[in-house]
A and B are shown apart, each in its own frame.
Chain A
Amino acid sequence: MTEHIIDIKHLSKSFSGKQVLSDINLYIRRGEFVTLLGPSGCGKTTMLRMIAGFLNPDEGDITLEGNSLIGVPPHERPLNTVFQRYALFPHLDVYDNIAFGLKLQKIPSEEIDKRVRKVLKLVSMSDYEDRDVDTLSGGQQQRIAIARAIVNRPKVLLLDEPLAALDLKMRKDMQIELKEMHRQLGITFIYVTHDQEEALTLSDTIVVMNDGRIQQIGTPMDIYNEPVNAFVADFIGESNILAGQMVRDRRVAFIQHEFDCVDEGFGEDVPVDVVVRPEDIYFTTDPAKCQFKAKVNSCTFKGVHYEMFVDTDTGYELMIQDYDPYPVGSEVMLYIDPDDIQVMKKERMANVYEGEVTGEGKVEFLGTEFECPTDGFSSGDKVRVTVRFEKVDLLDHVEEAATTGHVEFILYMGNHYHLTVRTKSGEKIWVDTNDVWDKNDYVGINILPEDILLEKVEEDGQEV
């Protein structure tokens, strides 16, 4: 399991000026089940299509067993794809669909016959050879699509959200079958999905992607238990993501309480993000164990467990999952094990932009002009602009705003929301707010003059 079958180095791609993949580096071991996981538009499908050969990268290299695939057309790559909408040939029956690739390889017909029957048995579709593909159900078409790909014995099987079109029950069954097929065939699987549960169930290795970049690579356990940033923590499973402060090694403060943890090396009094999974917050009746108190706000039965929202004595809202319900309104005592506190480096402390002083009291950044005090600066000065997250105002009335944007990503931090807003200039601005916005909301953006902090930079970008 240590030999690399695919190596991806410095892969970049943009479509009409928009960067879809930036500097992707990844290797895939022989026989591994790797999942590319991320929200739509994160670049996972683009990456798969580049491995398959339907797209060419702008930069970077993809090698298969040490040989570069760049410039090799798809029909000469020893890989096969299972397409999202199956793409079974409607003018051919099941047998001819599966035999399509084998016939092109000029394999003797008895051999083709044997292999088609064998693969049909593997996907539990024996006796369906003569059926028209349009008479098959979605799940059956899916099996034929898989059979059509694996009958060619590819070195790597690429699967592009193959279960997305199936209903939940069917999807669960197919997940088990896919895993079993992977075990039997020993072929390397590269699987693309936006379904985190599917990724956790199937994969040996998960590659979490967002915004054209790899966020984290790891086993399902790693990804779930030790997310490297707030995006991964939020995307995989349920989580409480909170702003915190590393007091010293093995001691972290959040929700205005101090906790023991197992993380080291962050330094003292360093701002961090903290993730606590809802199933890792425990109820106790022992005052000695209690770390903080809270009041139960809501309690919902979810099948296996109850999902409760509690307000802590310090005014934070936390999600807790437990097998036992606690009545709404009751005061409870809670504690968290040091092992279950995941501390992450803060990805950013404030919004920072390159800007230019354009006149007395005026500075340009985010593709527009803002008013701000410019004492000590003269027109034409290049400046570094810093705006704190909580100092950005979002407005419903876009006509009164300095610029506009769309809410791209929302993170609940226990007592406020941390929003990622894509401005009309294509840049990002992060906003801390107590107001409730929805994803894709069109918002106006204002910043008060005194909240815009300027620092002079030299022409070559060096600070003075």
Chain B
Amino acid sequence: MGKRSSWALPYAIFLILFVAVPLLLVVLYSFQDASGRFTFANITKFFTDKDALSTFALSIEVAIENTALCILIGYPAAYILADKQLNRSAVTVVLFILPMWVNALMRTLATAELFTMAGIQLGKGTLLFGMCYDYLPFMIYPIYNTLAKMDRSYAEAAADLGAGPFTVFRKVTLPLSMPGIASGVLMVFMPTVSTFAISEFLTNNKIKLFGTIIQENINNSMWNYGAALSLIMLIIIGLTSFLGKKDEAGVQGGAV
């Protein structure tokens, strides 16, 4: 033990207290019934509960839709931001990041208020709008980063070899920006699966997502089932991020 490694001690204590112990508790609670006896009931309950399963499916569906929407809007935005001819000032970048300085909850509440004022029915459309609004910067930023760092000579080389502007984009710029898209997807998809505040405020709880059920169970003191659901979600997010990482590594390996 060097002198320096002792500096990590406070961090280790923090990690144990606020990450490891709570995680252990979640696992522990998942396999206990209300009286503290060991059981698989919580897990089996989820896989037999039609409502829970369909909510889960809906959550995944909404997350996929939101991610797709974020790519569709975020990619062109990032492209414009990274293009020095289209975007001549750094202010535009700040304008895109500026909304992130306002708390997400506040933004969501304000968005809901706006919809109500405009007389727009709250539902899946407003839910996707709110999610996209909240998570768009997380998609734009990694893509912007990849595009801004990309050597301009690749696009020039492609044009030089006879590719028109669209072909240059399709055959060179887009494939080379895949690592940025991959990290954007990770940063948008995972949090959307577990979100509950946005669906609560922007659909008036009409649409329930997986995060909402967990929150409801815990609010109603059904700690064990809530913990089990959390554990399932944790495993799924862990899996997607693991797959995503592997995928990203593959793309980057080809891109260096």
Contact = CB atoms under 8 A, between A and B. Distances in A.
Contact of A89 (B154, B162, B164): B154
Given A87-B151, A90-B176, A90-B256, A104 B157 contact: no
A54 B172 contact: no
Contacts of B172: 89
A77 to B, nearest CB: 8
Interface in B92-116: none
Given A88-B157, A89-B172, 4 more contacts: A80-B160, A85-B151, A100-B161, A152-B162
A85 B151 CA distance: 10
A85 B175 CA distance: 20
Interface string B152-164: 0110111111111
Contact of B254 (A84, A88, A132, A148): A132
Nearest to B256: A134
B157 A87 contact: yes
Given A75-B163, A75-B164, A104-B162, A83 B255 contact: no
Contacts, number: 67
Interface of A: 52-54, 73-75, 79-81, 83-85, 87-91, 100-101, 104-105, 132, 134, 148-149, 152
Interface of B: 151, 153-154, 156-164, 167-168, 171-172, 175-176, 254-256
Nearest to A160: B153
Contacts of A100: 158, 161, 163, 171
Contacts of A87: 151, 153-154, 156-157
A83 B164 contact: no
B256 to A, nearest CB: 5
Contacts of B154: 87, 89
13 contacts: A54-B156, A73-B159, A73-B164, A74-B156, A75-B159, A75-B164, A80-B160, A81-B157, A81-B160, A83-B157, A85-B153, A90-B256, A91-B255
A104 B156 contact: no
Given A90-B176, A91-B255, A105 B157 contact: no
The 8 A-B residue pairs whose C-beta atoms are closest, nearest first, are: A101-B161, A87-B153, A87-B157, A74-B159, A104-B162, A91-B175, A81-B160, A75-B159
A351 to B, nearest CB: 39
A89 B157 CA distance: 9
